Chain A
Amino acid sequence: MRRLLSGNEAIAEGALAAGCNFFAGYPITPSSEIMHYMARELPKRGGVFIQAEDELAAVNMVIGASLAGAKAMTATSGPGFSLMQEGIGYAVMVEAPIIVVNVMRVGPATGQATKPAQGDIMQARWGRHGDQYLVSLAPSTPQESFELTIEAFNIAEELRVPVMLLIDEFIAHGREIVVSKRIAAKYRRTVMGEGEEPFNSMNPKIAPPLPELGSGKYLLITGSTHDGRGYRDVHNFETHFNLVRRLKDKVVLNLDKLFMYEVHGDEEPDVLFISYGSTARSAKEAVNILRSRGVKAKLIRLKTLWPIDIELIKRLGGNPRAVIVPEQNLGQLIIDVERIYNPFEHRVMGYNKVGGGIPIYSSELVEEALKVLSCGG
């Protein structure tokens, strides 16, 4: 079906298409439309919608529902995302497949409510204490918001890991054409069989199975270090080390499957843009303009912000004279890009602009690229 939808509506549609049947949330602009949509649509489909008393309750309800067998999601924005960190860390530890949508707005704190930004991408990755690995995705159109939401549910279910879906207010409130498709196969978590344990997996790439509610099997859940059966063990080195290493491995060993991207432009570029989300759309147009002026240019757009395949980016990017990383923050993804392109050997520069709801325009990126290239080096 072809419709004119906002990014928020597209996410809600994607969640429903993926089989989401539980949503708990606390309203916050610019994410509230997701909640409105789910409040209206979920009860019609036999799902459950709860307006929680706050974000902490919302994320914990989602974890509980997920472990009880639901496909569960919540949505918030920066201030609510900060409140949810404790729950997200817990979800990593108990391996609850949950989806947390963060419609990024200008921060820190209340910031400029509710202007767009891309300032939470490092928080999504590292915002909690302890070693923890999860997946974060960043769509750049309402159409992709629909598609990556489905993908997020599949990843969460398959790897028993929280998936962060990061969009900014431009995409969330911007309306564009979305073609929704029926999803043939929805990935579902593995159900625990005889002799299997809910927190143990022989293959580090594969997440352990979960017992089905009502099957008579026990599921012990604790945020403390636990063994394969779920029993607390807060003394032994091996138990903890094996657990956190397995939690890391199931994400990083599936890098080839999790790292999604789009490449646009010349094979061997002189100027390479690396970007994501709404900003990547200006970068894409900038690449087109530069190429029409005879400059070899390329864009690598990341759909997955974590985990990142830095070797693949290095291979795709070639040997550019300049690397520009446009972001609606003061420079976050560029930290990763500098792991790929050594700033002592390459010209690696951010193009940063945030606040007031003013996007990064393609003309600015073209100007920046031409300026850098004309400087030599």
Chain B
Amino acid sequence: MKERSVCLIGSGGQGVVFAATMLANALFARGLYVAQLQNYGAEVRGGSVMAYVVFSESEVVNPFINSFDVLIVLHDFNVSSWAKYLKYTDLVIADDLLVSKYLHRAIKAPLFRKALEGGLAGRESVVALGFLAGLNVVGKDDLKNALMDARDFEQNVKALEIGYELALQMRLRELQEFSSEKALSDSRERRA
């Protein structure tokens, strides 16, 4: 399995670091080597936040990367800081309401609006996690297990399902070249 990476960009308070932590935990529980990094300022809310997870079957030599397999932009506050990441990443998904800059290459997805409709404002990062599960980046059940350690399990699972369904509706699966689940089952076969 090649080294894989997922990056989330947003604004403080949206749960970007939380989502990256849950994603890392879910992949770790799968037996993968995981490195999670983040960049944020001193603000609690409103600052620019970036978090990413690199995962692989073998040890990650260097987690300092500037292009990702998937990048989700939840807010465009100070998004110009991450212009290079957006440029180098093939699959960029951007919230269709909160992101208006750097949209020329991104696929728009109503992550925030779906969260709002479900009464889950502020949980758009968990909707994004469900979206990633819908893209087959990570197992939905693995994410659910990871979320059991966090607060508001039921609401988070609801958000997760919303994101998952959204990804399926948008038929983005075909765009995705990789499937970590498939890669994992392949490698398990190799090991056996």
Contact = CB atoms under 8 A, between A and B. Distances in A.
Contact of A176 (B34, B38, B65): B34
A175 B64 contact: no
Interface in B36-73: 36-42, 59-66
Given A284-B62, A285-B61, A356-B81, A170 B24 contact: no
A277 to B, nearest CB: 12
B24 A175 contact: yes
Interface residues of B, number: 23
A29 B62 CA distance: 24
A288 B63 CA distance: 14
B36 A174 contact: yes
Contacts of B120: none
Interface stretch (A154-162, A236-244, A357-365): A357-365
B35 interface: yes
B11 interface: no
A253 interface: no
Contacts of B35: 174-176
Given A284-B61, A361-B66, A177 B42 contact: no
Nearest to A362: B62
A344 to B, nearest CB: 33
Interface string B80-106: 010000000000000000000000000
A369 to B, nearest CB: 15
Contacts of B59: 177
Question: What is the interface of chain B mostly: helix, strand, loop, or mixed?
Answer: mixed
Contacts of A4: 24-25, 28, 34, 36
A359 B84 CA distance: 13
Contact of A281 (B28, B33, B64): B64
Given A113-B42, A115-B39, A174 B63 contact: yes
Contacts of B63: 174, 176, 281
A282 B42 contact: no
A137 B62 CA distance: 20
B156 interface: no
A74 interface: no
A288 B62 CA distance: 11
A278 interface: yes
A66 interface: no
Nearest to B31: A2
B21 interface: yes
Contacts of B24: 4, 175
Contacts of A282: 62, 64
Contact of A278 (B33, B61, B64, B66): B64
6 contacts: A175-B21, A175-B24, A176-B34, A177-B59, A278-B64, A356-B81
Interface of B: 21, 24-25, 28, 33-42, 59-66, 81
Interface of A: 4, 29, 112-115, 170, 173-177, 278, 281-282, 284-285, 288, 356-363
Question: What 5 A-B pairs come out closest when comparing CB atoms?
Answer: A357-B39, A285-B62, A359-B64, A175-B36, A281-B62
